[in-house]
């Protein structure tokens, strides 16, 4: 090896290889195309026929520089040279001699020379036995690889079997398998025979695994292709048989379609789908989809109407039987039924029942269906945010089905049912579409006669359907949708109404549900009032019903466990069954207080008393507003302060109070968000009381929006607010003069116990709401805050 160190070191012509590698002691054929490489071959042939081969890092590089080449290559001897026909290149036969490192490149007369240094293999320290074991393992692994590859020439296999040198075997194997150039370069650079053979065996094992997996994939693809060809052949035969029969089976759909009471256009569409089924395999997925589609269309009540009957006396009896009170609502429903009796073809009568939860909106819709003798279906719209829930899904989708409207008509089995669209105010919208926009077509009498669900794909007449909607508020209903409906408002129940509803309806239903009767269960009137006042706080009667149900369950336990013959429920028994009262009965303020005023507010559960407090302390003129008040209420507070400043002289208030004092306005139940303009008069009255030190009467309440000049503007929700005042024991309620017409809506029992005082200006409220004889009141009741004489 020392001789080769000198002979094959130094300058010699160089060729950069692309995608091919030369190894020591292995004969290789290669074509030389590039002009510089041909010059190098010609120079080597003219001299000592030795040439240096090195691999390119990037085979796409046509004129590689030094940094584009690897450092280690192979010195080889040129054995033969032949001119390649056609491309101007040469074909050479070379035999690798040894590994060498390229120190630098030198260009001379268009020939690239490499300054090389020979790299000899390290001396092996393997024992003879270990060497033999390595050789045998390599031969077995290559044999397995050759079987998997199935393209290895026999002479290559023989060469592997006859190899006796470990390093040479590694070079020989890697030169005859299709691996990446980088792997071959790693073998060329490795001068340790043992490390070289281990690396090659690892590569060989990995390539064998790849070939095995590839073989399995190829086999599965071949089997699948064979199965598809067989299925195609059978399908073609089945198609030919069906064509010969000319009238394939369609599961009797043709006869059923002919019997439908619908247009010929719709029938033609269904016949077309039925004809497709006759030509499809019975078990195919597409046939199943079409079959489900036709079954759904055939199940729709085409032209099947319920023979309705409307008797106003009977309708009144049904409404009175199922609902207590609600006289104006019942009267409007009777008007609706009367008009429908006289003009059944009139379209567009869509009722929207608006009211707090639990006041009986859904049961009223069921009552309308009973009065008309029609079938009833309920569609819940709360939380729907996908337009397809209304219009349906196209039948090509997996799991497709009609929309909720068509499904409700199908379930009703009649084309003229009463359909309740519940919670229409809680429709959502998303990237899947706007359901409220889809409902426009459903509720529009000019369009719904040809409503086309995406699933059934043919028009269906919805003009004979009576649609009734329910909502807790109209604020969240889109205006185009609201315009198509007539709103009927259901207000909250009074305590007396709740008492009568519980006694006439709720208790009887719960007794029947829990297996009790009047023989073994009795609930006193005081007990009912106790449940209403101490365990429920709602506009409707839903929680009242649940509380009575809980009492009935407790009573059933006593009857069964203690063998009691009868359970009499008293107020004490109510507290025993239901536990600690959740609400205290309204008792109002204990005394007339400075800066404390009873305001009136409207919420989703009805009207409530909102007590508003104002405190003034020495400071720098800050205005603090607390109690979760919204932007509108904060603006009302600022308007009240400005009004009081403008009237400071009249009220004997220091005109600089807004500079010398900090004012704090607070509404009770601070965790509950509040907003709206109707607390303006309340804030102004409380502010005047605080700054003058004159208490406000504890038996008055007020509501109204205030302007900077003190005018009192109208408000909404007067019926609910007045009910709250009545429950709190309020004797006088100040209301805007423009709301006098709304007193017709107020319950009679409220008007009998509460005096309503219409006002046009806040001065009228302040004059009547503040205690007139302060000294007498102070002696009798005491005052929470001492009169602020310095402000007088």
The residues assigned a catalytic role are 678, 721
Cβ proximity of 290 and 276 under 8 Å: yes
End-to-end CA distance of the chain: 121
Give the whole-angstrom CA distance, residue 411 versus residue 262: 19
Give the whole-angstrom CA distance, residue 108 versus residue 333: 110
**Which DSSP string do the residues of 342-383 spell out, in sequence order?**
H-TT-----EEEE--TTSSHHHHHHHHHHHHT--EEEEE-TT
Cβ proximity of 118 and 2 under 8 Å: no
Q: Give the Cβ contact number of residue 144 at 10 Å.
A: 15
Cβ proximity of 175 and 21 under 8 Å: yes
Cβ proximity of 592 and 771 under 8 Å: yes
Q: How many CA atoms lie within 13 A of 449 on its CB side?
A: 7
Nearest 10 degrees: CA dihedral of 360, 362, 367, 373?
A: 180
Cβ neighbors of 766 (< 8 A, separation 6 or more) are: 651, 684, 685, 688
Cβ neighbors of 85 (< 8 A, separation 6 or more) are: none
Which stretch of DSSP H or E encloses residue 706?
A: strand 705-706
| Length of the chain, in residues | 792
SS3 content of the chain, % helix, strand, coil (to 5): 45, 20, 35
Number of helices and strands in the chain (H, E): 29, 24
Q: Give the Cβ contact number of residue 13 at 10 Å.
A: 24
Q: Among 15, 791, 615, which Cα is nearest to 624's?
A: 615
Cβ proximity of 417 and 466 under 8 Å: yes
Nearest 10 degrees: CA dihedral of 531, 534, 540, 545?
A: -30
Give the whole-angstrom CA distance, residue 540 versus residue 660: 48
Q: Among 588, 782, 791, which Cα is nearest to 689's?
A: 791
């Amino acid at each position: 090896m020392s001789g080769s160190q000198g002979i094959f070191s130094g300058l010699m012509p160089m060729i950069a290889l692309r995608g091919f590698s030369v190894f020591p002691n292995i004969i290789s054929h290669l074509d030389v195309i590039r002009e510089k490489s041909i010059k190098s071959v010609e120079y080597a042939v003219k001299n000592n026929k030795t040439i240096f081969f090195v691999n390119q890092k990037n085979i796409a590089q046509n004129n590689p520089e030094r940094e584009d080449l690897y450092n280690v290559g192979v010195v080889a001897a040129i054995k033969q040279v032949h001119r390649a026909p056609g491309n101007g290149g040469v074909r050479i036969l070379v035999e690798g001699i040894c590994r060498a490192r390229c120190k630098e490149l030198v260009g001379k007369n268009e020939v690239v020379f490499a300054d090389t240094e020979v790299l000899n293999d390290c001396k092996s320290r393997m024992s003879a036995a270990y060497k033999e074991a390595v050789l045998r393992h390599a031969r077995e692994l290559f044999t397995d690889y050759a079987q998997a590859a199935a393209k290895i020439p026999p002479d290559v296999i023989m060469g592997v079997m006859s190899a006796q040198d470990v390093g040479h075997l590694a070079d020989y194997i890697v030169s005859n398998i299709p691996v990446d150039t980088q792997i071959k370069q790693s073998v060329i650079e490795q001068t340790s025979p043992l490390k070289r053979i281990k690396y090659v065996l690892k590569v060989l094992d990995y390539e064998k695994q790849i070939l095995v997996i590839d073989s399995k994939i190829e086999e599965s693809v071949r089997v699948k292709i064979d199965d598809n060809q067989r299925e195609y052949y059978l399908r073609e035969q089945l198609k030919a048989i069906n064509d010969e029969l000319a009238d394939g089976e369609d599961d009797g759909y043709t006869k059923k379609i002919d019997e439908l009471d619908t247009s010929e256009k719709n029938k033609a569409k269904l016949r077309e789908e039925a004809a497709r089924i006759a030509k499809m395999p019975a078990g195919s997925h597409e046939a199943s989809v079409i079959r489900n589609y036709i079954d759904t269309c055939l199940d729709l009540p085409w032209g099947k109407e319920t023979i309705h009957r409307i008797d106003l006396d009977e309708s009144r009896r049904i409404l009175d039987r199922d609902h207590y009170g609600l006289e104006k609502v019942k009267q409007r429903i009777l008007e609706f039924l009367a008009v429908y009796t006289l003009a059944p073809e009139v379209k567009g009568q869509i009722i929207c029942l608006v009211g707090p939860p639990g006041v009986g909106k859904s049961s009223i819709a069921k009552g309308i269906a009973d009065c008309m003798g029609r079938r009833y279906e309920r569609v819940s719209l709360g939380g729907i945010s996908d337009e397809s829930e209304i219009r349906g899904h196209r039948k090509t989708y997996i799991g497709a089905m009609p929309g909720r409207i068509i499904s409700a008509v199908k379930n009703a089995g009649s084309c003229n049912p009463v359909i309740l669209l519940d919670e229409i105010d809680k429709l959502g919208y998303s990237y899947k579409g706007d359901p409220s926009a889809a409902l426009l077509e459903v509720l529009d009498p000019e369009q719904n006669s040809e409503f086309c669900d995406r699933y059934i794909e043919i028009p269906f007449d919805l003009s004979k359907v009576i649609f009734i909607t329910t909502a807790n508020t109209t604020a969240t209903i889109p205006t185009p949708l609201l315009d198509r409906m007539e709103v009927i408002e259901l207000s909250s129940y009074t305590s007396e109404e709740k008492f009568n509803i519980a006694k006439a309806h709720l208790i009887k239903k719960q007794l029947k549900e829990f297996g009790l009767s009047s023989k073994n269960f009795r609930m006193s009137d005081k007990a009912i009032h106790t449940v209403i006042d101490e365990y429920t706080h709602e506009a409707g009667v839903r929680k009242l019903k649940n509380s009575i149900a809980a009492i009935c369950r407790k009573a059933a336990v006593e009857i069964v466990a203690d063998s009691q013959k009868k359970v009499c429920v008293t107020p004490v028994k109510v507290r025993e069954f239901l536990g600690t009262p959740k609400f205290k009965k309204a008792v109002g303020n204990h005394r007339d207080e400075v800066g404390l005023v009873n305001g009136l507010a409207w919420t989703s559960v009805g009207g409530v008393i909102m007590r508003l407090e104002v405190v003034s302390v020495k400071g720098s003129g800050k205005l603090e507003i607390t109690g979760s008040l919204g932007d509108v209420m904060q603006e009302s507070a600022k308007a009240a302060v400005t009004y009081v400043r403008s009237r400071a002289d009249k009220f004997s208030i220091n005109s600089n109070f807004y500079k010398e004092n900090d004012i704090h306005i607070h509404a009770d139940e601070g965790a509950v968000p509040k907003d709206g303009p109707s607390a303006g008069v309340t804030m102004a009255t409380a502010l005047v009381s605080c700054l003058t030190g004159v208490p406000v009467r504890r038996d008055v309440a007020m509501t109204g929006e205030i302007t900077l000049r003190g005018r009192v503007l109208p408000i909404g929700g007067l019926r609910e607010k007045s009910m709250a005042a009545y429950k709190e024991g309020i004797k006088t309620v100040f209301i805007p003069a423009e709301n006098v017409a709304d007193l017709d809506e107020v319950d009679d029992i409220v008007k009998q116990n509460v005096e309503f005082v219409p006002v046009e200006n806040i001065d009228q409220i302040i004059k009547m709401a503040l205690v007139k004889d302060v000294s007498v009141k102070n002696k009798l009741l005491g005052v929470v805050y001492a009169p602020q004489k310095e402000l007088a």
